[in-house]
Structure 1
């Protein structure tokens, strides 16, 4: 006696196909996103002699991500030289010096060509000093050798609205620079001495790296910017030229052919953090904090 089996629903086959297609599509999308976020392999085969390119762009808020990239380039045997692209107005004192030290450490083992973009100022210029040869465009704004520390007083406004700040501190200079009270003469003298010491350190660094006398650097280190040609004439950069000139010099110095690839080394992009309010708070806090920094401070005017 024949037993009739229940037929398999036709829709189940379609469901399995749809699941496979959906899973495959999600995998491709995820792979594409990873490729975008990591920047890809730039066509560099493992072990193949190549150059690396690292960019210091925008205000220098922290050094660690870029320091890791520079260390990675230093340790890779196949990386024969590094093209460092700097387009920055500077930033924090500690972060700027940390980048300089990482670049200098790299340059003791491999040639480093530095290409300054539209701006290589203050802490950005400091980081560039660690390279072996500095290139600037005619229109590059370079230099701004100096230290700036800003503080705004909000205490008059607080008094107007009836708010009385109450500060408990361990020493009279513990809150020097606070916006909650008027700056005293002792506060100003203390903060000025700190800025002067950091400035002296910057001047000494430029003199040593650029083979200039300290007096020559001090004539240039009043915070002003120089065009690329002025910077070259003053000895702050080695040559006037763009990325192509820097790359050509680097290939010759590193002994690699014109066909050797260049690998882009990029830190993980913290794009989500920059979109969230936390990122905005961190950025605003860095701008408003009363601390010294190697940063070019412009008046807000724009070229027309």
Structure 2
């Protein structure tokens, strides 16, 4: 009797890792029994965390645009913004997607600066009552660490060609010409930003001081100045999407569990490191 028990325990010990691996594979990759058999006809795309790179979300947008079964998109936004080029990439990708199928953008937390830029071409923008909207502006910053370098005895050496090649350096105070060059760059970027916002939202660009100028708004004030269409919660955003698509039996596309887990970890990590990786560049 004891030998049989011992043999069973020994077998379990020998095969435990294999059984555990098989169990994880089954949990992660096999569909749940309660999942509908019908093909998904709606999809949620999340724009969470600082916008440093657009590759992943652009891929999701392109796949949604090509998928004929997907009739509408919910763009769920909770982002403080980020770098200029990826914000514009996302914005223009949403514009192209919206021409083929409805896109409802939902501000679940923060839809500001670059993330607002990303959402402007949605069919409709709906914001949670407590959401922060706006911050239509551009910033470029760098520390001046010359005094610190002098104290610890560090002297920079460089060779350059071009008067403005050192513009934005943290090793000394900027010259008036360098500052003017950087101000022109941020002004050009800001003009592009407000031009696209005015065009997408049907706003008067000559009245941009009321809705742009880096103002930040709570949802109801954002609606008053025309930055969003409605104030509501996520169920309102989903209802709006159903109305736009005329879908009576919604089936939302689900990501596999492993992908969702990795996405959650990545999102949390991005929030924690957002202030460390921007460096000197124009940001929205």
Residue aligning to 1:269: 263
**Residue of structure 2 in register with 1:101 after alignment:** 92
Q: Aligned runs of 1:29-108 on 2, under 5 Å?
A: 29-32=24-27, 34=28, 43=35, 45=37, 48-108=39-99
CA RMSD of aligned residues (A): 3.0
List runs of 5+ in structure 2 lacking aligned partners: none
Cα pair distance change 1:137/1:31, threshold 3 Å: same
Secondary structure of 2:253's match? Answer: strand
Aligned to 2:152: 161
Contact 1:90 1:122 in 2 (8 A): yes
* Distance (whole Å) between structure 2 residues aligned to residue 87 and residue 281 of structure 1: 14
1:25 aligned residue: 20
Q: Distance in 2 between matches of 1:271 and 1:239?
A: 31
Instruction: Map residues 284-303 of structure 1 onto 2, 5 A cutoff.
Output: 285-287=276-278, 289-294=279-284
Question: Structure 1 residues 281, 261: closer, same or farther in 2, change over 3 A?
Answer: closer
Rg (Cα) greater in structure? 1
- Give, in angstroms, the shift of residue 118 of structure 1: 1.9
C-alpha change, 1:57 and 1:22, in structure 2 (3 Å) is closer
Superposition pairs of residues 140-151 of structure 1, within 5 angstroms: 140-151=131-142
Instruction: Name the SS for the 2:171 alignment partner.
Output: coil
- Please report how far the alpha carbon of residue 280 of structure 1 lies from its aligned counterpart in structure 2 after TM superposition: 11
Q: Are residue 256 (structure 1) and residue 247 (structure 2) matched? A: yes
In structure 2, the CA distance between the partners of 1:248 and 1:13, relative to structure 1 (3 Å rule), is closer
Q: Residue 137 of structure 1 is aligned with which of 128, 150, 153?
A: 128
SS, match of residue 119 in structure 1 = strand
* Whole-Å separation in 2 of the counterparts to 1:41 and 1:286: 43
Aligned to 1:203: 194
**TM-score, reference length from structure 1:** 0.81
1:14: how far off?
Answer: 7.1
Taking the aligned partners of 2:153 and 2:181, their CA distance within structure 1 comes to 30
SS for the counterpart of 1:118 is strand
Q: CA deviation at 1:231?
A: 0.9
CA distance in 1, matches of 2:148, 2:34: 55
So what's the TM-score if we normalise by structure 2? 0.87
Aligned with 1:269: secondary structure?
A: helix
Q: CA deviation at 1:240?
A: 1.1
Answering whether residue 212 of structure 2 is matched by residue 212 of structure 1, we say no
Q: Could you list the per-position Cα deviations for residues 137-164 of structure 1 after superposition, in whole angstroms to 9, with x for gaps in the alignment? A: 2221101111011111111110111111
Q: Is there any run of 5+ residues in structure 1 with no aligned partner, and where?
A: 1-8, 295-304
In the TM superposition, what whole-angstrom CA distance separates every residue of 1:214-255 from its partner, at most 9, and x where no partner exists?
112243211110111111111111111121111101011112
More moved, 20-29 vs 139-148? 20-29
Structure 2 counterpart of 1:300:
none
Determine if contact 1:42/1:262 at 8 Å carries over to the other structure.
no
Q: Distance in 1 between matches of 2:17 and 2:210?
A: 67
> Which deviations, in whole Å up to 9, do the C-alpha atoms of 1:239-287 show, x marking residues without a partner?
1112111110101111211x42212456753948987xxx999856523
Which structure features the higher share of helix residues?
2
SS for the counterpart of 2:71 is: strand
Cα offsets for 1:167-223 (capped at 9, x unmatched): 211212112111012211011000000000000000100110001111122432111
